Amino acid sequence: MTSLHIPRERDNDYSREAAAKRRRFVEEQTGAALEHTSKFSFDPAILPGNIENFTGVVQVPLGFAGPLRVNGEHAQGDFFVPMATTEGTLVASYNRGMRLTRQAGGITTTVVDDAMQRAPVFAFNNAREARDFSLWVTENFSAIKAAAEVTTRSGRLRNIEQYSASRMLYLRFNYTTGDAAGQNMTGKATYAACQWIADSYPPGIGYYFLSGNMDTDKKHSALNTLHTRGKRVVAEITLPRQLVIEQLHTSPEAMYAARKTSQLGGLMAGAVHNGVHPANGIAAMFIATGQDEANVAESHASLVYAEVTPDGDYYYSVTLPSLIVASYGGGTGLATQKECLEALGCYGQGKAKKLAEIFAATVLCGEISLGAAVVSEEWVSSHDQYGRNRP
């Protein structure tokens, strides 16, 4: 009887031969030809820790936009930004925003906070026991911190937030994680801390779960918007009035009127942030640079602020409160992703904040470009020119 399970090839799980065997199995089971997914140039031996049942590759078209001029504390100069996407017009739109902001002198970027969370929940017989536990946690923070940090070389427990409800106490452990995104790091560290807590708390604990969902891992939340998850980055620029008129075919007043109107529409619709389309640029860069693509759910949250200055220029800023990016670990070391990070000068240790500033500046360019296209009534025509693909 033929097995209906994907062949695992336990002794050589990531070889080209094992991948070919899996493709043949899928072709036999589905009748599809996996010709193009079989073609890749890298050594699959680099894949352990990144994927299981390795069978081949899915190739996403890559374009570079730029140069993007960033006046940051960590990213300084001009950058060509890799964007992997199947959406026509996307790279062209971001490229337009980069040209405009470079002519205006570049985008100022600031990393204002850095934290990654795991949020366990502890349950007790009643609310008073939960309250007593909260006091004990505060008194024993140093010991909890020491227990957590035994598991990691670069993670540091910064603080523990406390939220009580019913007979439960939710603890939100906040870590700095160096150049890694840090979800697995914080999970392991918090697990060690929870074990120490369970063994050390004198009255005993009813039960606990490693996550009570207040870290809202890979989900948007207002808590992460307020308290930061990953990097909190601000990108800002003042666009000269004449540049807006000449390059964007509109005016600062019209751009500002559209922003106010769209914010009201977003409020009525129940939108979770007031950005235009930050997920577009973030997703394209995530795929190109080997980030965890599911983190787009958190990272796309944006807080946009704009105003017409007394001189008639246009001030515009984007705050990304929960941008989760890494320059080290995870998918950043894969062959093509590493090349894209190296093109940015952002591969390896000591580069995560630089990468975060480039992400934020890129998002700002996309926000301005699309916003202007809507106001100047060029949105549809640009998609007709660059985005039509009907095979």
Candidates 227, 249, 277, 383; catalytic one: 383
Exactly one of 87, 132, 307, 378 is catalytic; name it. Answer: 87
Instruction: Report angle CA 359, 361, 365 to the nearest 5 degrees.
Output: 115
Question: Helix (H, G, I), strand (E, B), or coil: what is residue 367?
Answer: helix
Residue pair 358/346 in contact (Cβ under 8 Å)? The answer is yes
The first and second tokens of residue 385, run together, are 């020119």
Nearest to 362 by CA among 285, 261, 295, 309: 285
* Candidates 149, 292, 307, 339; catalytic one: 292
Q: Quick check: is 11 catalytic?
A: no
**CA 380/CA 57 separation, integer angstroms:** 33
The DSSP bridge pattern shows strands 207-209 and 168-176 to be unpaired
Return the SS3 of 247.
helix
> Which token pair is 38?
């079989």
**Phi-psi region for residue 243, left (φ > 0), alpha (ψ -120 to 50) or beta?**
alpha
Cβ–Cβ < 8 Å for 180, 328 = yes
DSSP-derived 3-state class of residue 45: helix
Distance CA 114, CA 180 (A): 12
Q: Are 263 and 276 in contact (CB under 8 A)?
A: no
- Local structure of 183: helix, strand or coil: helix
Alpha-carbon distance of 353 to 372, in angstroms, equals 29
Q: Is 383 among the residues known to form the active site? A: yes
* Whether 292 is catalytic: yes
Query: Beta strands 107-118 and 62-71: pairing type?
Result: parallel
User: Residue 355 burial by CB count (10 A; 0-12/13-18/19+): exposed, middle or buried?
Assistant: buried
Catalytic residues: 87, 292, 383
